[in-house]
A and B are shown apart, each in its own frame.
Chain A
Amino acid sequence: MKKTYKIEVDCANCAAKMEEAVKKTEGVKDCTVNFMALKMKVEFEDGADVDSVMQSALKACRKVESDCEIYL
């Protein structure tokens, strides 16, 4: 399953770091961040609980870039 989220982040490098962080989150199959459109597209593993996966994805993102936001 794929879902697109609006995000808020200041710099392109941070956006790339967020992408990396979400990719490593458990339950996420793939993730692409479009810094220009401020959109994050997440592809989930089959049977993953989207809400809890995104919560931990957001936590992972906050670790690499403290003032980023994913609008869940």
Chain B
Amino acid sequence: MSKKQKKVLIRIIITAVLMVVFALLPVKGTARLLLFLIPYILIGYDILQKAGKGIVNRQVFDENFLMAVATIGAIVLGEYTEGVAVMLFYQIGELFQSMAVGKSRRNIADLMDICPDYAYLLTEDGEIEEVDPEDVEPGSIIVVRPGEKIPIDGVIIEGEASLDTRALTGESLPRQAQTGDEVISGCISMDGMIKIRTTKEFADSTVSKILELVEESGMRKSKPENFITRFARYYTPIVCYGALALAIAPPLVRMGLLHLTPEWTDWIYRALTFLVISCPCALVISIPLSFFAGIGCASSNGILVKGSNYLERLSNTKTIVFDKTGTMTEGVFEVTQISPAEGFTEETLLEYAALAEQFSTHPIGLSLKKAYEKDPDASRVSDVTEEGGAGVTAYIDGKKVAVGNERLMKAEGVVSEKTEEAGTVVHVSADGVYAGHILISDRIKKTAREAIAGLKKAGITKTVMLTGDNRAAADAVAKELNVDEVHSELLPADKVEKVEELLQKQNEKEVLAFVGDGINDAPVLSRADIGIAMGAMGSDAAIESADIVLMDDDPAKIVKAIRISSKCLRIVYQNIWFAIGVKLLCLVLGALGIVNMWAAIFADVGVMVIAVLNAIRALRVRE
């Protein structure tokens, strides 16, 4: 509790005690008024002061002013206890609100505790110096000891360590990193001491980017937030004029038209009850608080949401379109099948392919070399020629070997075997004789299937996969994952077109989200209603172009993000209906004279407390 809050608490306690004691004392008349003025001034002096300033500044619909009018009115009517009580409960509500907000602010700050306070810079004469991360220039060498945060993005030049990435990705499994690996700021080195050559400035490092993003997220407001701001602007004046009308009109009508006693006191009392419920605080605080908590919850799970409007849209998502490679599959190619033709063995087939492709840096070539396991002997190979996207030809042990697609085989005058397998097929021929084919395919991510099933459960009605891969490979993955629709053999521009087509088909309120790796699908990410980039650790491009960023590349996080968003929005709407409902009810009952000031202030503060507690629920989501 802050000093300010403690002071208010003490005032609340003293006032409460005084109020009860004085209420029991058998004092009458002016003495009683003077007695009650003590707790009233004690609890309300700051409000009265602010109300005074409000009048000077012509802020008539300021809640302080309204509280002042309501309580002074009550005292003038002789309801001393009520006047003090209204002020007391108002202060209790305010205190609770500031404590709750402060607590969730701290909670979220803890979740986002990734900002390093210092960096150990290795100077030219071999000394280690503690410096501010902002003063470290790119290309410097920094030392990170076990248990410390990596302050700046860079490459390990010495040592190895397991890195705890939980603060960034929500993933509890540590990641191994050794010399030559790129590491990003915000990770904690758990066991080893490592030296890092920094590649970026602190301001461009992952940690700074993430913190900036989270701080900015509150700036993009959602529809409920805008609604509440507008509502608050009209609610208070309407209630105030309502109170004024209630105080004047019925007594005049009674007198003038019905020839009854005007009963001024009764109607003024009812009007004052109106003023007590005129503050829109419960709504104004609980809605942004819910979004703040929801975004905080997402961040702690490695999901960065760039604004509450995106959280809102995500909760309405009905169609999810995703890219195949790198999103649902690892994007790592592996030899999955070796089918030699007659007269060749698996070993020779793979050996030819690996030797011919040994200088290639293409993923296909790399996967062949990896499958070969041995170091390819360069002296056995000569005259390697790249055949423009179709493959390579080379002389191996004097034989002319061609490794590539069907087109290359045709050019070599070889009849290749037709295959219907899913993946990339590499054909091999030796001296004009077909030697067989090797199948290279991408591995589906472990959690991909589960993620698609989870999406369906979370209310997504349509899952669509887009890919540049061939049809067989795409269909196989689609079947394995159980997605509804698949479009294959697309160029990047086709993907945008497909997404536009899907956007047109859906009805206006539905939302389409696109999930990609953010590297070459930036146009699609920005075209979709929501762009979700995945595996964004260290990728600036993805962070820039997407609305929601998944720090690691686990597709199950998409489901989690949707669950967080629906919970958050559910809470937001509960709070809106609940708070507005109770206030309207109190207004009606107050006007009818059924509810007195006590009940009104109880309801008002109670609604606020419940709404705030409800909002805080958005911080947690079930596993």
Contact = CB atoms under 8 A, between A and B. Distances in A.
B63 A13 contact: yes
Nearest to A39: B215
Nearest to A10: B98
Contacts of A37: 105, 215, 218, 292
A71 to B, nearest CB: 15
Interface string B288-303: 1100100000000000
B281 interface: yes
How would you classify the secondary structure of chain A's contact residues: helix, strand, loop or mixed? Answer: mixed
B97 interface: yes
B583 to A, nearest CB: 14
B284 A16 contact: yes
A37 B215 CA distance: 7
Contacts of A64: 57, 59, 62
Contacts of A16: 229, 232, 284
A12 B219 contact: no
B233 to A, nearest CB: 8
A29 interface: no
Given A34-B218, A34-B219, A36-B288, A11 B281 contact: yes
Contact of A36 (B53, B63, B101): B101
A66 interface: yes
B280 interface: yes
B285 interface: yes
Nearest to B57: A63
Contact of A10 (B94, B215, B219): B94
A12 B281 contact: yes
B578 to A, nearest CB: 17
B50 interface: yes
A5 to B, nearest CB: 12
Interface residues of B, number: 28
Contacts of A4: 215
A67 B50 CA distance: 9
Contacts, number: 59
A41 B220 CA distance: 11
Contact of A66 (B50, B63, B101): B50
Contacts of A34: 215, 218-219
Interface in A28-43: 32, 34-39, 41
Contacts of A39: 215, 218
How would you classify the secondary structure of chain B's contact residues: helix, strand, loop or mixed? Answer: helix
Given A34-B215, A34-B218, A39-B218, A12 B53 contact: no
Interface in A1-19: 4, 10-13, 16
Nearest to A60: B57
Contacts of A63: 57, 59
Given A11-B94, A13-B232, A34-B215, A66 B288 contact: no
A8 to B, nearest CB: 11
Interface in B40-86: 50, 53-54, 57, 59, 62-63
Contacts of A67: 50
A35 B57 contact: no
A32 B229 CA distance: 12
A5 B519 CA distance: 33
Contact of B281 (A13, A36, A38, A66): A13
A23 to B, nearest CB: 12
Interface in B400-447: none
A11 B97 contact: yes
Contact of A12 (B104, B216, B221, B285): B285
Contacts of B218: 34-37, 39
B289 A66 contact: no
A9 B81 CA distance: 31
A16 B53 CA distance: 19
A63 B54 CA distance: 7
Nearest to B236: A13
A16 B228 CA distance: 10
Interface string A46-72: 000000000000000001101100000
Nearest to B98: A10
Contacts of B229: 16
Interface of A: 4, 10-13, 16, 32, 34-39, 41, 63-64, 66-67
Given A37-B105, A37-B215, A64-B62, 20 more contacts: A11-B97, A11-B281, A11-B285, A13-B281, A13-B285, A32-B221, A34-B215, A34-B218, A35-B101, A35-B218, A35-B288, A36-B101, A36-B288, A36-B289, A39-B215, A39-B218, A41-B219, A63-B57, A64-B59, A66-B54
17 contacts: A4-B215, A11-B97, A12-B101, A12-B284, A12-B289, A13-B232, A13-B280, A13-B284, A16-B229, A16-B232, A36-B101, A36-B105, A41-B216, A41-B219, A63-B59, A64-B59, A67-B50
